[in-house]
Amino acid sequence: MKKRLTTKQAAILMGANEQFVRDGLKMGDFAWGTALKRSSRYTYYINLDRFCEEYRLNPNEVAAQLMKDKTV
């Protein structure tokens, strides 16, 4: 099972837009993820378990839903 989320997946689960998630990660506002700058581009890491804990979601249900919906 995948233990990380994309910025798009996190944004959908939060009801926010993807740019909000990316900016928050860059500024260190979220304890569940981070942004690393590699040359001129950023790489984002969002930990599924920590994200689910913050928003009181069941990580197994979220992972199953994400696996079922391949478009996200």
Q: What pLDDT is attached to residue 70?
A: 67
Q: Tell whether 10 is covered by a domain.
A: yes
Could you tell me the pTM of the whole model?
A: 0.85
Q: What pLDDT is attached to residue 11?
A: 95
Q: What pLDDT is attached to residue 1?
A: 55
Q: Tell whether 28 is covered by a domain.
A: yes
Q: Tell whether 71 is covered by a domain.
A: no
Domain extent, residue 47, equals: 4-66
Give Cα 35 to chain centroid, integer Å: 11
Q: Can you say whether the dihedral through the CA atoms of 10, 14, 18, 23 is positive or negative?
A: negative
pLDDT tens for 10-54 read: 999 999 999 999 999 999 999 999 999 999 999 999 999 999 999
Question: Which tokens go with 27?
Answer: 């500024």
Q: Tell whether 72 is covered by a domain.
A: no
Q: What pLDDT is attached to residue 66?
A: 82
Q: Tell whether 13 is covered by a domain.
A: yes
> Residues in the chain, how many?
72
Q: Tell whether 51 is covered by a domain.
A: yes
Q: Tell whether 20 is covered by a domain.
A: yes
| Dihedral angle, C-alpha 47, 16, 29, 71, nearest 10 ° | 30
Into how many domains does the chain fold? 1
Question: Which tokens go with 66?
Answer: 């994400």
Q: What is the spatial distance between Cα 12 and Cα 63, in angstroms, rounded to a whole number?
A: 13
